[in-house]
Amino acid sequence: MTGQIPDKLIFTGKKFDLVGVKGEGLYEPLDFGLTPKSPHTANWRGFVSTYEVSDDFLIFKELQVSIEDEKESYPLINNIKPISRKEGLIHLDYKNLNLKTNFSGKILIAKAFIDSMYVHMGFQSPIAFETVIELEFNEGILTNQKDLSNKMRHYRKKGISDGKLKPQDDLMKWISRTFSLDYDL
């Protein structure tokens, strides 16, 4: 198995990995009538999204999705036509979507991954990053932000895990955990 390609979130002009979600309202391909298919082992979901916090709004910026069905036209998202290419599957790239979300909840974003903490399975743990920020939204509007970098450093120092860093007694439960973006720190 392979570590998964994370969604991205641009915050304060910097690109972060999206490493945790608690809430509802992030877009998925099915919201637009697209059924994603995995193009390779690093993308089992079949899609990667990019979001941006702009003027305190959570904006859906880009979607890269792989699908099976070749068609003459694909759905527009916010009046944007995708760039398509065929490489076995059909790969659709939607750029500059600028679609506001109604997300309510919290999102963990991170950067400066610690290579020695790489897990060859699922999404990487927030603990494995030097910089971790929790963003809180209400109906797509940023209401709070909290820097959790020191907390993650403390967890690393004390050997505290979120259950993603190494297999647990129940292997299937651990695999499921590594592929989930749910978090409880």
Q: In this predicted model, what pLDDT tens digit does every residue of 48-92 receive, in sequence order?
A: 999 999 999 999 999 999 999 888 889 999 999 999 999 889 999
Residue type, 69: D
What lies within 8 Å, CB to CB, of 102 at 6+ separation is 25, 139, 140
Strand partners, 117: none
Pairing of strands 83-87, 57-67: unpaired
Q: Return the structure tokens found at 83.
A: 């760039």
Phi-psi region of 76 (alpha: psi -120 to 50; beta: other; left: phi over 0): beta
| Structure confidence at residue 2 (pLDDT) | 84
Strand partners, 49: 63
Q: Which two three-digit tokens encode residue 35?
A: 């059924």
Which amino acid is located at 89 in the chain? L
pLDDT at 177 over 80: no
pLDDT of 88: 86
For the segment 153-170, what is each residue's pLDDT rounded down to a tens digit? 998 998 877 666 666 677
**Site of tokens 């036209």:** 73
| Cβ contacts of 21 within 8 Å, gap of 6 or more | 105, 106, 107, 108, 181, 182, 183
Q: Where are the domains of the chain?
A: 8-100, 104-178
